[in-house]
Amino acid sequence: MTTRRAMVAANWKMNKTLFEASELIKAMMPSLNQIENVDIVLCPPFTNLSLARIETATSDVKVGAQNMHWEESGAFTGEVSPTMLNALGVEYVIIGHSERRQYFAETDETVNRKVHSAFAHHLIPIICVGETLSQREKGVTRSWVEGQVKAALKDLSVRDVKKCVLAYEPIWAIGTGKTATSKDANEVIGYIRNTVAGLYGKEAADAIRIQYGGSMKPANATELMAMPEIDGGLIGGASLKAKDFSEIVHYRKQAE
């Protein structure tokens, strides 16, 4: 039986003004303070990170950023550095989300550079990997995702690999209302864990947490989280509603 602690992370993407973020966090916090055996991370837009740290300061809820540059400073207009995140007390950072890869030219190389920078600045990366619908239909899901994992974790130490969080996001299931079956999701995440084992050994593979990031909702959270390879969820749309997010993080109660 796994000893990995579940993690549910809220990726708000480009949503919520400062006032809206404050209202949402205040609505969430009473239920998020009642969670045992689940780590919770809120990842709002950069403009709301300071607020999120303040609103969660007296709780066990952690705060993460949705992206960062690998350099500490420089002529990179519009970017945010790891040291800036450190100054805000941020502990996690999402790296390589499919939307960053699709719309902002994120590559396997830049993902790896950001992962190394995150660890150099004591941030825990939530590294996203996943296939498109066409790749799935061509039957290359396994090789594609394995390649992304190998590239993202390149040249890391075993110690850092154990601290990583990976998020499998079938791109075809993000914002489309489609969801991979729990069996399908568990199978691909199993491939990912086997890839980590091949690179860094069974101990590292057993330690690393791998989330499912393909439209997890209250209706399917319990079933997905019951799968042996799935250690949590990277939640998009459902994290923008306090009730829905609360039901996901309380997935164990739904199973009772």
Residue 251's pLDDT band, with cuts at 50, 70 and 90, is: confident
Single-letter code of the amino acid located at 231: D
Residues acting as catalytic residues: 97, 169
Residue-wise pLDDT tens digits, 85-95: 999 999 999 99
3-state class of 145 per DSSP? Answer: helix
Residue 242 lies in a domain: yes
Q: What is the dihedral of CA 150, 155, 157, 162, to 10 degrees?
A: -20
For tokens 């066990």, what's the residue?
60
Count of Cβ atoms closer than 10 Å to residue 4 Cβ: 15
What residue ranges in 153-200 does DSSP mark as E strands? Answer: 165-168
Residue 14 lies in a domain: no
Residue 109 lies in a domain: yes
Query: How many folded domains does the chain comprise?
Result: 1
Residue-wise pLDDT tens digits, 132-178: 888 988 999 999 999 999 999 999 999 999 999 999 999 887 766 67
pLDDT of residue 253 exceeding 80, the answer is no
Residue 29 lies in a domain: no
Residue 30 lies in a domain: no
Residue 21 lies in a domain: no
Residue 218 lies in a domain: yes
Residue-wise pLDDT tens digits, 111-132: 999 999 999 999 999 999 999 8
Residue 18 lies in a domain: no
- CA dist list (Å): 179 to 176, 213, 219, 256: 8, 10, 11, 23
pLDDT value of residue 1: 46
pLDDT of residue 204 exceeding 90, the answer is yes
Q: What is the mean pLDDT of the chain?
A: 94
Q: For residue 40, what are the domain limits? A: 35-255
CATH number at residue 88: 3.20.20.70
pLDDT value of residue 179: 66
